[in-house]
Amino acid sequence: MKRLLIFLFTISTFSVLHAQTDNALARVEKNNTKLVFFYNEPINDYEQAFTFENKIENLYCLTPNEVFAATIKNANIEAANQSKLYDAIILNPAGRDMAIIWKDKSKDNAIARVKKVEGKFIFVQCEPISNYNMVGKYNVSGAGQQVILGTCPPFQEKISKLIKKANKENEDFDGVMYGSDKFELSIKFK
């Protein structure tokens, strides 16, 4: 029994230490009263409440915060139409967005695992849990293209542009933060 308890304690301690050093983990910011996951996936268990078509005018010309606000509005309309409740939204650029319900509401459900693009962690409207330093500061909003061409580049293009700028400056960086501030950042984990 004593060995089993030591083994379980060791496994539990390893899991906690591993979670604290997992650079892919982030805390998603609430928009109004909802969490919106974009370029990241919740780590806690959830169930699908419903899916919905999320039509947003001038989508790529908006900041992530504006996109999230419009998404919540669209999800609220769909929730009312279906008489369903939801806790958060997962944005799916390739298809219908999904409203979800947490299986355990007592957990910290704002924690997500971010995705990588071109080998770099992408933090969209979220903050890394691991300690980091800012390496570079950029503006890749696409405002110039909007003025000249009347269109805005897609989010993927903006994120790739951000990574290219940081690479061009020969920065040693692990990831980028997009949409949480006036400027986009390249970051290095401590």
Tell me the residue range of the domain where 36 lies: 23-102
Residue 137 and residue 90 share a domain: no
> Model confidence over 137-161: pLDDT tens digits?
987 765 555 555 567 888 888 889 8
**Among 19, 36, 26, 20, CA closest to 122:** 26
Domain total of the chain = 2
Residue 123 and residue 91 share a domain: no
Residue 164 and residue 133 share a domain: yes
Please report whether residue 11 resides in a domain.
Answer: no
Secondary structure string (H, E, C) spanning 62-94: CCHHHHHHHHHHHHHHHHHHHCCCCCEEECCCC
Residue 16 to residue 35: CA distance in whole angstroms: 24
Q: Is residue 12 very low, low, confident or very high in pLDDT (cuts 50, 70, 90)? A: very low
Residue 49 and residue 79 share a domain: yes
Last residue in a domain, options 102, 123, 143 = 102
Residue 95 and residue 29 share a domain: yes
Residue 136 and residue 98 share a domain: no
Residue 97 and residue 30 share a domain: yes
Task: State the amino acid at position 125 in one-letter form.
Answer: Q
Please, how many CA atoms are within 13 Å of residue 36, restricted to the half-sphere of its CB? 25
pLDDT at 8 over 50: no
pLDDT at 4 over 80: no
> Model confidence over 81-132: pLDDT tens digits?
999 999 999 998 778 999 999 999 999 999 999 999 999 999 999 999 999 9
Residue 73 and residue 52 share a domain: yes
Residue 38 and residue 96 share a domain: yes
> What's the mean per-residue pLDDT of the chain?
84
- Pairwise pLDDT comparison (183 vs 113), residue with the higher score: 113
Last residue in a domain, options 102, 129, 148 = 102
- Pairwise pLDDT comparison (185 vs 5), residue with the higher score: 185
Q: What is the pLDDT of residue 156?
A: 87
Q: What is the pLDDT of residue 145?
A: 53
Last residue in a domain, options 102, 134, 158 = 102
Q: What is the pLDDT of residue 13?
A: 39
pLDDT at 5 over 60: no
> Model confidence over 28-68: pLDDT tens digits?
988 778 999 999 999 999 999 999 999 998 888 888 888 99
Please report whether residue 15 resides in a domain.
Answer: no
Please report whether residue 35 resides in a domain.
Answer: yes
Residue 172 and residue 139 share a domain: yes
Sheet holding 184-189, edge to edge: 116-117, 120-124, 175-178, 184-189, 132-138
